[in-house]
Amino acid sequence: MTSVLDQVGLVARRSVRRTLRQPALIVPTIVFPLFLLAVNSSGLSAATNIPGFPADSYLDFAITVCFIQGAMFAAITAGTELATDVQSGFLNRLQLTPLRRLAILVGQMAGAATLALIGAVTYLAVGVISGVDVKSGVGGAVVLIVYALFTAVAFSGIGAALGARTGSPEAVQGAFPLMFALFFLSSMSLPRELISVDWFRTVATWNPASYLIEGMRSLVITGWDGTALWRGVAVGVGVLVLSFWAASRALATRMART
């Protein structure tokens, strides 16, 4: 009987292969966020003139958004792949083997993590070439990539939960706007203290996504800000635990075997 680790390896290998063989997944993950970054940093460059804006260039401020979008693409990918497996009956096939639920869940993340890694490295490279100044230096850039990967895996749990629950790739993709919304209603576009609409600022303050973004962003525009970092990591860990629990429950129902 294969060990859990071997099973994870087998499933992960499949997941990575699938992802790398679909340029239609990889290209939008890279192009979309960078396009929006270009548009927003030009369109909102005037925002740096707002008194109290924490960066000299909106590009520095906004590059973090790319990593978040990369995480969302990863989440949707993880969810869609699992939903496709449910829909096509491939999950039934896996159920007939000794494969454990945990192995499917963890292994499936590998593809999403690969996508997020490709995205993160590209965004950082393009950003640095375009003049982004990462205040925390090379070490901070490495931490940024790791942080981005960690966020992607956490959100992939949400995708997987949706995928297992609905068994429908269309339903998973339909959830994408809602995930988008979660990040919009945060301090993604402006720092919390510069949001002038009271209720919006309140929502952004309560929104865990704000802390994820602020943690990441601090590495670029501030340097090493311990508070921002631990808050962001704490939120990430929370999302990871909850999403994996939900995904596990949903998969348990799907993979009900006697």
Partner 1 sequence: MSTNHRGIVVEGLVRTFKGDIHAVAGIDLEVAAGEIYGFLGPNGAGKSTTVHMLTTLLPPTAGRATVAGFDIATQGADVRRHIGAALQEAALDNFLTGREHMDLQAGLSGMGKADRRRRGTELLERVGLIEAAERKVGGYSGGMKRRLDLAMALVHSPTILFLDEPTTGLDPQSRSALWDEVQRLATEDGVTVFLTTQYLEEADVLADRVGIIDRGLIVAEGTPDELKRDIGGDTVEAIPADPHDLERAADVLAQFGERAAHSPKGVAVRLSRGAEQLAEIVRALDDASIALAHLQLHSPSLDDVFLAKTGRSLEGAGEEGEAAAEEPVPA
Partner 2 sequence: MRRDFTSVAGAVLRRNLIHAFTNPALLIPSAVFPLLFFVAFAGGLSNVANVPGFDFPSGYTAFQFVFVFLQSAAFGGVFTGFAAAADFESGFGRRLLLASPRRRGIIAGYVLAAIARWCFTATIVSVAAAIAGMHVDGSLTQLVALVSLALLVNMTATMWGVGMALRFQTLQAGPAMQIPVFLILFMAPVYVPLDLIGGWVHDAASYNPLTALVESGRGFISGVPDVVGLAYLAGFGLVALGLVWALTGLRRAERGV
What lies within 8 Å, CB to CB, of 31 at 6+ separation is none
**Shortest distance (Å) from residue 98 CB to partner 1:** 7
* 245 near partner 2, rule: CB under 8 A: no
What lies within 8 Å, CB to CB, of 80 at 6+ separation is 159, 163, 169, 172, 173
Please give the distance of CA 234 from its chain centroid, rounded to a whole number: 15
| Site for partner 1, residues 86 to 105, rule: CB under 8 A | 88-99
SS3 call for 22: coil
Q: Which is nearer to partner 1, 21 or 230 (CB)?
A: 21
Q: Which is nearer to partner 2, 185 or 255 (CB)?
A: 185
Q: Which is nearer to partner 2, 48 or 95 (CB)?
A: 48
CA distance 13 to 179: 27
Q: Provide the residue type at 138 as one letter.
A: V
Instruction: Write out the two tokens for 149.
Output: 């990967």
Q: Which is nearer to partner 1, 2 or 248 (CB)?
A: 2
**Shortest distance (Å) from residue 68 CB to partner 2:** 13
Binding at 181: pick from partner 2, partner 1, none (beta carbon under 5-8 Å per type): partner 2
**Shortest distance (Å) from residue 47 CB to partner 1:** 42
C-alpha distance across the termini of the chain, in Å: 19
Per-residue binder mask for partner 1 (CB under 8 A), 3-42, x = binder: ---xx--x---x--xx--xx--------------------
Nearest to 148 by CA among 174, 114, 102: 114
Contact 255, 105 (CB under 8 A): no
**Shortest distance (Å) from residue 188 CB to partner 2:** 7
Burial of 73 (0-12, 13-18, 19+ CB in 10 A): buried
Binding at 46: pick from partner 1, partner 2, none (beta carbon under 5-8 Å per type): partner 2
Interacting residue with partner 2 among 99, 188, 209, 213 (CB under 8 A)? 188
Q: Which is nearer to partner 1, 45 or 97 (CB)?
A: 97
* 199 near partner 2, rule: CB under 8 A: yes
Tell me, what DSSP letter sits at residue 192?
G
Number of neighbouring beta carbons within 10 Å of residue 236? 22
* 173 near partner 1, rule: CB under 8 A: no
CA distance 152 to 75: 7
Binding at 129: pick from partner 1, partner 2, none (beta carbon under 5-8 Å per type): none
**Shortest distance (Å) from residue 112 CB to partner 2:** 18
Residues that bind partner 1 (CB under 8 A): 1-2, 6-7, 10, 14, 17-18, 21-22, 85, 88-99, 256-258
